Chain A
Amino acid sequence: MDREALLLDGGRDDGDETRDTAALAVELLGADGWRVTHLALREIEIAPCFGCFGCWVRTPGVCVIDDAGRDVARRMVQSDLLVYLTPLTFGGYSSELKKAVDRLIPNILPFFQSIDGEVHHVKRYERYPRLVAIGVAPSGPVDPEDEELFETLVHRNAINYRAPSAAACVIAASDDDAVRRDRIARVLEVDAGGGS
């Protein structure tokens, strides 16, 4: 069976911030044998989560909002690899990426358990995808503080969304193609191919 990758592209406005990086990630994954679904979230209407917990206590496992957010949640669980792509936004995710991430909570159970000395939610499914996140610093060099914060956020998300493993990297929009290709290939754990 093909390995499935879901790329959630949180580029804002016209998508200029992430378009090249998304294309590169799709190319690299495809060359490695992954079947990739690339969702440009700016083009998809997804209502914000309104924190009703209906997906836990009313329609367990399914968001009460009937829109594309449900499709994203389904695809997430059925993937082997989940890739977040986002313009680095105060060291975190853009609002475009976050509108989808917020709608993934049906995929965990409401019940609590202790994990490494903290309360977190129990798994709903047996398997979850590995999480990889790529942040694109829109201008200038990457600020090390932003980079460290982004990596922390991704690893925290991996705990809460029960990813078996996670990795993150930040690239600068100004990085040359070979550098970007190499960094993205490394975080995706695929071969960089002839471009590196």
Chain B
Amino acid sequence: MSETRYTKDHEWVRVDGGVATVGITQYAAEQLGDVVFVELPKVGKAVEKGGEAAVVESVKAASEVYAPISGEIVEVNGAIEGEPAKVNAEPMGGGWFIKLKVKDAAEVSALMTEAQYQDYVKGL
């Protein structure tokens, strides 16, 4: 599996065989607080980089999850619809949101590396 890349909006992307798994970072999960609801897109939907891909809601507020790269949704994580707390428990693993068929690999390599993201979060 390739390295994990990050966005300024606190999504992470991991590409494996042309398919990108997308979730929200540990930092984002902590900032949101307890997730009580997620709304996932339909499989087959095409999303543009920066477009709204999913919605995540805590007790207090609703937030968008943006598509870090463009592509077609090939799978969504039904497990977090039934058990939203999984997003807090395993944000970087079992709490993933969507899988995208990568349209342009250059969009992935343009994202922040782990070290760059950690620096970015430190500066917030």
Is the A/B pair a real complex?
no
List the interface of chain B (C-beta within 8 A of A): none
List the interface of chain A (C-beta within 8 A of B): none
